[in-house]
Amino acid sequence: MSTHAAEKRSFGAVLWDYLTTVDHKKIAVLYLIGGGFFFVLGGLEAMLIRIQLISPDNEFISAQFYNEVMTMHGTTMIFLAAMPLLFALMNAVVPLQIGARDVAFPFINALGFWLFAFGGILLNLSWFLGGAPDAGWTAYAPLSILSPHHGIDFYAVGLQISGFGTLMAGINFLVTIINMRAPGMTYMRMPLFTWTTFVASVLILFAFPPLTVGLFEMIFDRLFGANFFKPEMGGNVIIWEHLFWIFGHPEVYILVLPAFGIFSEIIPTFSKKRLFGYSSMVFATVLIAFLGFMVWAHHMFTVGLGPIANSIFAVATMAIAVPTGIKIFNWLLTMWGGNIRITTPMLYALGFIPSFTVGGMTGVMLAAAAADLQYHDSYFVVAHFHYVIVGGVVLGVLAGLTYWWPRMFGTMLDEKLGKWTFWIFFIGFHLTFFIQHFLGLMGMPRRYWKFLPNQGLDLGNLISTIGAVLMAVGAVMFVWNIIKTTVKGEKVSHDPWDGRTLEWAVPSPTPEYNFKQTPLVRGLDPLWVEKMEGNGKMIPAEPLGDIHMPNSSFLPFMMSLGLFIAGIGVIYQVDHKAWWIVAAIGFIITFGTMFLRSIKDDLGYHIHKEDLEDEGAGVK
Amino acid sequence: MTHDEMLRSDNLPHEPEKATLEGKNKFLGFWFFLGGETVLFASLFGTYLALKNSFGSEEGVPTTELFGLELVFIMTVLLLTSSLTSVYAMYHMKNHDFKKMQLWLGVTVLLGAAFLGCEIYEFYHYVHHYEHTFTAHAFGSAFYTLVGFHGAHVVFGLSWILTLMIRNARRGLNLYNAPKFYVASLYWHFIDVVWVFIFTVVYLMGKVA
Amino acid sequence: MKGWMGRFRALFLLSGLTLLLSGCGKPYLSALQPKGEGSEMLFNLMLLSIGIMIFVFLVVIIIYTYVVLKFRQKKGQEDYIPKQTEGSHLLETVWTVIPIILLLILAVPTVQYTFALSDTTPDEEVEDDALWIEVTAQQYWWHFNYKDLNIQTSQELYIPTDQRVYLELTSLDVIHSFWIPTISGKMDTNPIENKNQMWIHAYEEDVYWGKCAELCGPSHSLMDFKVVAVSPGEFEQWVEDMQNVNPDAEPETVAAQEGRELFQENSCAACHAVGSSPVAVGPNLTSFGDRTTVAGVLEYDKESIVNWLMDPEKYKPGNQMTKKYPELDEEEAEKIADYLMSLKPSDIGPDDAEDGDYIKAQKDEDNNDENTSENNNEENTEDQQ
């Protein structure tokens, strides 16, 4: 399909195309738009928080509203911004990196996106329907159970819906990576981003169900009179904390491992060297994931689990520092002796290494169970996890977007503006969060609506707010860069960075079938191997033949819409039984479309060999 | 592979459920899904064990008095047998004998429905004779959530198998629907395995403790 | 418990890190200026971990700086293709083993301290005399019940400086977390049956700020309390005074007397006890006249009390007092304030914690007169430093 034809299509046609698409590249764009929107929203919430805390005893926003903003900032950033943005990159890149024409489950891939989107919308509807959730992103019971308005219900139902979507996305990537690799793409030749996607998907698969159960229990308690978290009825509030953190800790690695993967792609590319210690990088990734499942109680050192449990979880947590350290040193040694080009993505990678090292260091400090009695729930923790999430994940996403932008959109983000963006964001980030380590130890607990004068906390908070403004400026500049580049629309070649991996071997814009002929992989960094052999492009593993493609479908949208409607009905049935009708309509839509999907054959279609030959002639 | 090849019901390969890439993907993906489901039930079991016999300030009947093993034993037999019959069905699928596969799937569905009937009776009995309800106390909530989640899985599994049977009744087995049958039967086995744990952890251990 | 950690700290003192950190924050709030046994242990552990981490960070940064400066692409070298190194077993082993050793160094005291801090069995000699206090958290205030002494206070916890004080923590609504940064780490207060225990031990007399560290509702950030750490002799006197409170005593001024009547009429007494009554729907007001703050956060003066009584919602959103009593006019509120400010059953108050006078305990004096007085002088001078 040529660009000329694409331009002529009406807006309605494009919209319909995206509503029904099952193409992983378009789903990537959808995730990018969705995640980007929520990232901006979460950023605005962050700004409200920082403005409120600019000076002592400030009355900028009310206490209740502050709690809602603070809760939604955390929830939005984790579930609706960071994860979808990573999914955007995974969808855009992973199938290409393994030489696949498509993902294993294109339909489910689309369903995953729409569930996320509707879950996120449902969650944010709470702003307009009586107030957002107000019990923190961790929603500890019984505070969440006792919260009088519907906010927490939106939290539980919204996250439940988007959680299903995440689970499906995870399974899709797992099967794609296992079953769809091109000939020669063995496990130990997979690019690190693919590896980390794979491991993150395993984490999703095993970490999300406990959250699902916890959210169900919360929904049952709040909306159906159950007693899981009501102590006077025999309930136990600690169950929620366990379930939440059995999910919550792996969640950190679900976010940060793909970010590691992104940097493990960028650093070799711009050092012109293969990744140092590839196999130990893979091993470290798997080990981090494995250990990540047995450390959840380090979020609960002050709950009173006793010294034995606390000690075990403390030592287990410290152990994670070892594989993480391996990674840091491997990145450094990848650059050692290399030919380093400082492009914008590389700049992000260079900013990431010291930032994340600080986050990891404070992580080890927090792991010391006894000392955590001082750090816990103070601004020290806030500083720590922002160093991990912003210093690791957000820098990773921004780096990844800049790096793969030419792959996704065929255009190149402005390098000069990109570098400015990096510096402003980076300085703002450290200004905002470094001081918060000290604020915490100076006696400022987290989630504080206001701090009092004469407690020595004024200056630190002011600095933090100034830093936050810089970060906001940086984020705006990034968005501006995207707009500017898109309007300019200047196309670049399919391999503008001199890439090493398969995603740079396909023409730009990427054809809907990715690879006309499945490539033959002859080593780690397959494209680099061919470049060194003087071929410059991949050797095909098969003769040209018909390509099977999946049909577009509107059903994923409908299924998700159904759950969205049902969710609203379920939330409001406590107020009036008539809302059950709404819930029923929603469930009928969802199960009806599932039934339809089951009985209607969907065999896809074929792009014929002859057409492929014609097209090849047209492009070159 | 053309559409005709996918949908023809003669000349099938030995393992029709794994003969196509789509089939292999479904097979693997479904195993992963069951892995997630396992964690889901593990969390539910964890919650149940934490809240077992926990009544707070409310009156409640403890597990030792509440459960009667006779009915639960019958239910176990029903579900275990249904798992066996679904194995027969898959055996016939591999031999491309569609009629016998449908027959054994039919038996599976009947046994599953009988199980469900017993479970509904059981819940009714608890509610009306022991006032053991979902909202009475934490133990009630945990019990009905765990066993109810399993029950909901049974309902879903039954509807799924029935849908497949009816949808494909007239056209027979082919490369397109074989993986679907296979995956549905896998799901049914999983439900059965979960029940074995429920039988042990909830009922047997409840009776002993 | 000090041992080698103490020596380690001495080493650090030389490097100045301790000095640097202890300049942070206010002495009554900062965890970096420990004034108690627990917080000092934790501070030592922090210093150890910071020391190890700074070492690791320096190693990373040195390599990093070298690499970035040395191997940055130079003009004319755009096409240079470096050697594609696969890895190095030696290096990889080195950076696996060294971190493991460093972590073990950190893990040993971590486990040691974790056990030490959660050990709430008093020493055998003092077991019967050990001071046990029941801490009950509610939105958004703290209640303290001195178990064997028949004393109840709210918002301000009086403790002696010569011993560990054992706490039993619980909550009547949501989860809160009890934190006195300068004296000890924090511990959650879980609802109802699920009770936690901890001990605190302040070395120095002072009024310390305590915080709620677990999100508990809109006024989470305003759920402060104070710890009034006084010398053992002063504490003994405080106990005696508090045990002999006469809740029905007539206030001296007329305004306060009228205030007392208004206090009864406007159903304040339904929630607020004066005296050691266990009623604890609202904070116990027995020694309100000695409070350092109003409602935990407002400056202690008549104006604040009047403001609070007129509209508590404005100062602590979501508190449980709002609208639970008839509306008051300013005059009434002033009279009640007069009454409340007259409630000073003990001669011992926050001033005694802040003045640094060390008064030894009666029982110590009886036991071993000369020895203790010497000790006293020592400690006294320490206090003044």
Q: Please tell me if residue A227 touches chain B, with a CB cutoff of 8 Å.
A: yes
Task: Indicate whether A197 belongs to any domain.
Answer: yes
Q: A220: distance to nearest CA of chain B, Å?
A: 8
Neighbouring chains of A at 3+ CB pairs under 8 Å are B, C
- Which residues in A418-533 belong to E strands, given as ranges? 519-520
What integer pLDDT is reported at residue A620 of this predicted model? 34
Question: What is the percent of chain A with per-residue pLDDT over 90, rounded to a whole number?
Answer: 94
Q: A373 and C31: CB-CB below 8 Å? A: no
Q: A306: distance to nearest CA of chain C, Å?
A: 7
Task: Indicate whether C18 belongs to any domain.
Answer: yes
Nearest to C186 among A236, A279, A373 (CB): A373
Task: Indicate whether C78 belongs to any domain.
Answer: no
Nearest to B32 among A174, A233, A234 (CB): A174
- Mutation target vs C (from A374, A379, A387, A437; most C CBs, 10 A cutoff): A374
Query: A439-467: per-residue pLDDT in tens?
Result: 999 999 999 999 999 999 999 999 999 99
Q: How confident is the model at residue C278 (pLDDT cuts 50, 70, 90)?
A: confident
Mean pLDDT, range A525-542, rounded to an integer:
92
Spatial CA neighbour of C346 closest among C238, C235, C251, C244: C238
Q: Please tell me if residue C174 touches chain A, with a CB cutoff of 8 Å.
A: yes
Chain CA centroid to CA C352, Å:
18
Spatial CA neighbour of C177 closest among B185, A377, B29: A377
Q: C84 and A273: CB-CB below 8 Å? A: yes
CATH code (residue A545): 1.20.210.10
Nearest to A206 among B39, B44, B137 (CB): B39
Q: How far apart are CA C78 and CA C72, in angstroms?
A: 11
**CA quadruple A30, A32, A38, A44: dihedral sign:** negative
Q: A174 and B40: CB-CB below 8 Å? A: no
Please determine, for residue A277, whether its predicted confidence score (pLDDT) is greater than 90.
yes
What's the mean per-residue pLDDT of chain C?
A: 87
Task: Indicate whether C15 belongs to any domain.
Answer: yes
Query: A154-190: per-residue pLDDT in tens?
Result: 999 999 999 999 999 999 999 999 999 999 999 999 9
What integer pLDDT is reported at residue C4 of this predicted model? 61
CB-CB neighbors (< 8 A) of A246 in chain B = 43
What is the DSSP pairing of strand C131-138 with strand C165-171? Answer: parallel
Task: Indicate whether A234 belongs to any domain.
Answer: yes
Please determine, for residue C377, whether its predicted confidence score (pLDDT) is greater than 60.
no
Query: C116-147: per-residue pLDDT in tens?
Result: 999 999 888 777 789 999 999 999 999 999 98
Range with lowest mean pLDDT among A67-76, A124-133, C16-25, C248-257: C16-25
Spatial CA neighbour of B65 closest among B121, B120, B132: B132
The whole-model pTM stands at: 0.94
Please report the domains of chain B, with CATH numbers, ordered by start residue: 17-43+69-208 (1.20.120.80)
Task: Indicate whether A566 belongs to any domain.
Answer: no
Mean pLDDT, range A355-381, rounded to an integer:
95
The whole domain housing C13 covers: 3-69+89-118
Element (H, E) at C156: strand C156-160
What integer pLDDT is reported at residue C13 of this predicted model? 53
Task: Indicate whether C169 belongs to any domain.
Answer: no
Nearest to A326 among C85, C95, C194 (CB): C95
Mean pLDDT, range A40-55, rounded to an integer:
97
Residue reference for tokens 């493990």? A264
Number of structural domains chain C divides into:
1
What integer pLDDT is reported at residue C76 of this predicted model? 86
User: C310 with C335: CB under 8 angstroms?
Assistant: no
Mean pLDDT, range C213-241, rounded to an integer:
95
Q: How far apart are CA A386 and CA A392, in angstroms?
A: 9
Element (H, E) at A199: helix A192-223
Q: Please tell me if residue A321 touches chain B, with a CB cutoff of 8 Å.
A: no
Q: How confident is the model at residue C79 (pLDDT cuts 50, 70, 90)?
A: confident
Chain CA centroid to CA A147, Å:
29
Q: How far apart are CA A7 and CA A1, in angstroms?
A: 11
Please tell me which residue of chain A has the smallest CA distance to C195.
A304
Q: B188: distance to nearest CA of chain A, Å?
A: 17
Query: C334-347: per-residue pLDDT in tens?
Result: 999 999 999 999 98
Spatial CA neighbour of A353 closest among C49, C62, C61: C61
Q: How far apart are CA C242 and CA C236, in angstroms?
A: 10
Please determine, for residue A541, whether its predicted confidence score (pLDDT) is greater than 90.
yes
DSSP classification of residue C217 = S
Task: Indicate whether A453 belongs to any domain.
Answer: yes
Q: C383: distance to nearest CA of chain A, Å?
A: 22
What integer pLDDT is reported at residue B1 of this predicted model? 64
Nearest to B29 among A105, A206, A217 (CB): A105
Neighbouring chains of B at 3+ CB pairs under 8 Å are A
CB-side exposure of B82: number of CA atoms within 13 Å?
32
Task: Indicate whether A575 belongs to any domain.
Answer: no
Q: B29 and A174: CB-CB below 8 Å? A: yes
Count Cβ atoms below 10 Å from residue A468 Cβ, excluding itself. 23
Number of A/B CB contacts below 8 angstroms equals 132
Query: B171-188: per-residue pLDDT in tens?
Result: 889 999 999 999 999 999
Q: How confident is the model at residue B10 (pLDDT cuts 50, 70, 90)?
A: confident
Please determine, for residue C379, whether its predicted confidence score (pLDDT) is greater than 50.
no
Q: Which residues contact A80 (CB under 8 A, 6 or more apart)?
A: A34, A35, A38, A41, A42, A116, A120, A123, A162
Task: Indicate whether A558 belongs to any domain.
Answer: no
Q: B36 and A210: CB-CB below 8 Å? A: no
**Helices marked H in A336-457 — which ranges?**
344-367, 369-375, 379-388, 395-409, 415-441
Q: A612: distance to nearest CA of chain C, Å?
A: 35
Task: Indicate whether A592 belongs to any domain.
Answer: no
Please determine, for residue A8, whether its predicted confidence score (pLDDT) is greater than 90.
no
Residues 293-322 of A with CB under 8 A from C: 302-304, 306-307, 310-311, 314-315, 318-319, 321-322
Range with lowest mean pLDDT among A60-64, A426-430, A555-559, B172-176: B172-176
Query: C232-263: per-residue pLDDT in tens?
Result: 999 999 999 999 988 888 888 898 999 999 99
Mean pLDDT, range A323-332, rounded to an integer:
96
Q: How far apart are the first and last CA of chain C?
A: 24
Please determine, for residue C14, whether its predicted confidence score (pLDDT) is greater than 90.
no
Question: What is the percent of chain B with per-residue pLDDT over 70, rounded to a whole number?
Answer: 99
Please determine, for residue C370, whether its predicted confidence score (pLDDT) is greater than 60.
no
Please determine, for residue C373, whether its predicted confidence score (pLDDT) is greater than 60.
no
- Give the angle C251-C254-C256 at the CA atoms, nearest 5°: 50
What integer pLDDT is reported at residue C385 of this predicted model? 37
What integer pLDDT is reported at residue C3 of this predicted model? 56
Give the tokens for residue B198. Answer: 């429920």
User: What length does chain B have?
Assistant: 209
Count Cβ atoms below 10 Å from residue C55 Cβ, excluding itself. 11
What integer pLDDT is reported at residue C21 of this predicted model? 74
**Helices marked H in A9-130 — which ranges?**
11-20, 24-52, 63-75, 83-97, 106-125
Count Cβ atoms below 10 Å from residue C91 Cβ, excluding itself. 16
Number of structural domains chain A divides into:
1
What integer pLDDT is reported at residue A86 of this predicted model? 98
Mean pLDDT, range A277-303, rounded to an integer:
95
Please determine, for residue C75, whether its predicted confidence score (pLDDT) is greater than 70.
yes
Task: Indicate whether A596 belongs to any domain.
Answer: no
Mean pLDDT, range A282-308, rounded to an integer:
95
Q: How far apart are CA C56 and CA A362, in angstroms?
A: 12
Please determine, for residue C102, whether its predicted confidence score (pLDDT) is greater than 60.
yes
Which residues share a beta bridge with C209?
A: C226
The whole domain housing A421 covers: 3-553+602-619
Q: How confident is the model at residue A38 (pLDDT cuts 50, 70, 90)?
A: very high
Please determine, for residue A400, whether its predicted confidence score (pLDDT) is greater than 80.
yes
Tell whether omega for the bond before A250 is within 30 degrees of 0, i.e. cis: no
- Which residues in C238-334 belong to E strands, given as ranges? 293-294, 298-299
Q: How confident is the model at residue A617 (pLDDT cuts 50, 70, 90)?
A: very low
What integer pLDDT is reported at residue A3 of this predicted model? 46
Task: Indicate whether C52 belongs to any domain.
Answer: yes
Phi, psi of C278 (to 5 degrees): -75, 0
Range with lowest mean pLDDT among B8-22, C145-159, C287-301, C310-324: B8-22
Q: A320: distance to nearest CA of chain C, Å?
A: 10
* Interface ipTM: 0.95
What's the mean per-residue pLDDT of chain A?
A: 94
Maximum distance among all Cα pairs of chain A, rounded to whole angstroms: 79
Please determine, for residue A243, whether its predicted confidence score (pLDDT) is greater than 70.
yes
Spatial CA neighbour of C248 closest among C236, C263, C237: C263
Task: Indicate whether C114 belongs to any domain.
Answer: yes
